[in-house]
Structure 1
Amino acid sequence: MNATICFIGAGNMAMSLIGGLLASGYAKDKIIATEPSEAQRRSVTERMGIYCYSDNNEAVARADIVVFAVKPQQLQGVCHEVQASIQAKRPLIISIAAGIRTVDMDRWLGGNNAIVRTMPNTPALIQSGATGLFANAKVKPEQSSQAENILRAAGITVWVKTEEQIDALTALSGSGPAYYFLFMEAMQQAAQDLGLDEKSARLLTLQTAFGAAKMALESTDDLVTLRQKVTSPKGTTEQAILTFEAQNLRQTVKDAMSAAQNRAVELADQLGQADTTGAKH
């Protein structure tokens, strides 16, 4: 790609994407950012070697692709601020702001925009993320490729066919890291209760989780087969699995993810209806 990419907002997620792009060989002079804080602008320039603007409109005027990397509650105000510049330039719009639907963002930007909505997760901060993407009807195939290449700088990418699927993806990979942290927390505590010291319990828990995930990613076997290979009949693992099943772990996970999905829908409704100008849509 030879497009100029502008990141509106230079927080952690934007820095992760920029770092990944630079590591892949993307030209520094083709990446710009904006940030209201002078100290943060200096930090971005020193760390990344890219130019960081204080004026969002000035940066947008120079961009072929604009990545909105601000907090969801700030997005509408920023969109209103740069609406005229976006309409004049017509760049590809990529949003990494959670919970904002493309129809609402398009309205805030004046309409008729090519928008890719994404849902990254926190492991993207260490280039190990899982990001879902949805493109509205205005996005051309080459623009889809551009968006995918940018988000791949932080990990794997998966396209969804309908925007409603973003809410399911939010419940899976968006919130998912916290589920694993909770499970690892429980495993570590259980190991300590069984007699291991805290340091050993933590290290063994984390390495076991890492090893299992790595095996699952690299194996040609499905998850059921991988589990069965570890579970010998009448062995120790089988007893643990039977306990999980007896206590309905699968239904608990399903209920938890459904609750997360429902909340994602509620938040999108709230954020889409709110209007910083005081009007309702």
Structure 2
Amino acid sequence: MDAAGQLPLRVGFVGAGRMAQAIAQGLIQAGKVEAQHVLASAPTDRNLCHFRALGCQTTHLNKEVLQSCSLVIFATKPHVLPVVLTEVAHVVTAEHILVSVAAGVSLSILEELLPPNTRVLRVSPNLPCVVQEGAMVIARGRHARGSETKLLQNLLEACGWCEEVPEAYVDIHTGLSGSGVAFVCTFSEALAEGAVKMGMPSDLAHRIAAQTLLGTAKMLLHEGRHPAQLRTEVCTPGGTTIYGLHALEQGGLRAATMSAVEAATGRAKELSRK
């Protein structure tokens, strides 16, 4: 028991892939949960070895996770999740808080596959959770209360930024932040290749491009300004930046980026309907 005489929180993971590993590592490193109180399940040892390296407990039985932990994060592939939920539904109790990070599986489907009144939440994470710089949103089911949402938010902030949103925003988040990682990488690559074209060595160009993205993001977040404000500060009359921005506008960067988020969001909604 802890200093307040309460039993320590036990967190379970059904599915032990990269996202589950990232969340577990964040929770443990931030001191939110002790490694010995984390239990993960997977069909084989291929991914469970990473949990063991963190000091966590592991099993091949999904129901054992439900029987041992009150907060359970389902991190399986989306098409596998309904099968897994059907398998463990008989051991779900009123004490459980169940969380899904599977893209495209709605709260209504989750609640339909689980016993009545089960407290269910959805989390949409993104890959930077691996380095504790994720952007995550939470949507709660009909029976989840604000206290469960706050508990989950507090835990997940060990992996980055986290906020509660209506479920309708989850697919948009997938298009903006989940797919957005690839969009940003494409832009970073293009920035570096422009420098390579002008004569800079590739390794150096890619490091500078990545650091430029990191520094810009920190300024936007820490100073709370709109991107247009920072862009205006960099853009002096007749200077280098305005010439570069003109070239980007001629290439349709802004419209293409908006279309990319729209296309990715549309696909996320399509997968949700399926």
After TM superposition, what 4+ stretches of structure 1 lie above 6 angstroms from structure 2? none
Q: Deviations over 1:135-169 (max 9, x none)?
A: 11211121111211232121110211x21111111
Aligned residues: 267
- Over 3 Å counting, the alpha-carbon distance change for 1:89 and 1:208 in structure 2 is same
Distance in 1 between residues matched to 2:179 and 2:49, nearest whole Å? 32
Report the alpha carbon displacement of residue 68 of structure 1 after superposing the two structures with TM.
Answer: 0.2
Question: Normalization by structure 1: what TM-score?
Answer: 0.89
- Over 3 Å counting, the alpha-carbon distance change for 1:251 and 1:31 in structure 2 is same
Match of 1:3 in 2: 9
Distance in 2 between residues matched to 1:192 and 1:23, nearest whole Å? 38
Match of 1:16 in 2: 22
Q: Deviations over 1:84-127 (max 9, x none)?
A: 111x3541111111111011111122343211111100010111
2:269 aligned to which of 245, 265, 271: 265
Distance in 1 between residues matched to 2:9 and 2:212, nearest whole Å? 42
Distance in 1 between residues matched to 2:47 and 2:201, nearest whole Å? 41
Distance in 2 between residues matched to 1:217 and 1:126, nearest whole Å? 17
Report the alpha carbon displacement of residue 187 of structure 1 after superposing the two structures with TM.
Answer: 1.2
Report the alpha carbon displacement of residue 131 of structure 1 after superposing the two structures with TM.
Answer: 0.5
Match of 1:228 in 2: 232
Q: Is the 8 A contact 2:111 2:118 kept in 1?
A: yes
Match of 2:150 in 1: 145
Report the alpha carbon displacement of residue 29 of structure 1 after superposing the two structures with TM.
Answer: 3.4
The reply on whether 1:200 has 2:233 as its aligned counterpart is no
The reply on whether 1:35 has 2:66 as its aligned counterpart is no
Distance in 1 between residues matched to 2:51 and 2:157, nearest whole Å? 21
Match of 1:274 in 2: none
Distance in 2 between residues matched to 1:99 and 1:17, nearest whole Å? 19
Q: Is the 8 A contact 2:94 2:117 kept in 1?
A: no
Say which SS state the counterpart of residue 138 (structure 2) adopts. Answer: strand
1:76 aligned to which of 63, 79, 82: 82
The reply on whether 1:50 has 2:53 as its aligned counterpart is no
Identical positions, percent = 30
Amino acid at match of 1:28: A
Say which SS state the counterpart of residue 137 (structure 1) adopts. Answer: coil
* Structure 2 residues not aligned, in runs of 5+: 1-5
Match of 1:191 in 2: 195
2:179 aligned to which of 169, 175, 187: 175
Question: Normalization by structure 2: what TM-score?
Answer: 0.92
1:109 aligned to which of 114, 121, 129: 114
Choose 75-84 or 102-111, whichever is displaced more.
102-111
Distance in 1 between residues matched to 2:219 and 2:74, nearest whole Å? 35
RMSD, aligned α-carbons: 1.7
Distance in 1 between residues matched to 2:252 and 2:102, nearest whole Å? 34
Q: Is the 8 A contact 1:116 1:147 kept in 2?
A: no
Choose 116-125 or 210-219, whichever is displaced more.
210-219
Amino acid at match of 2:39: I
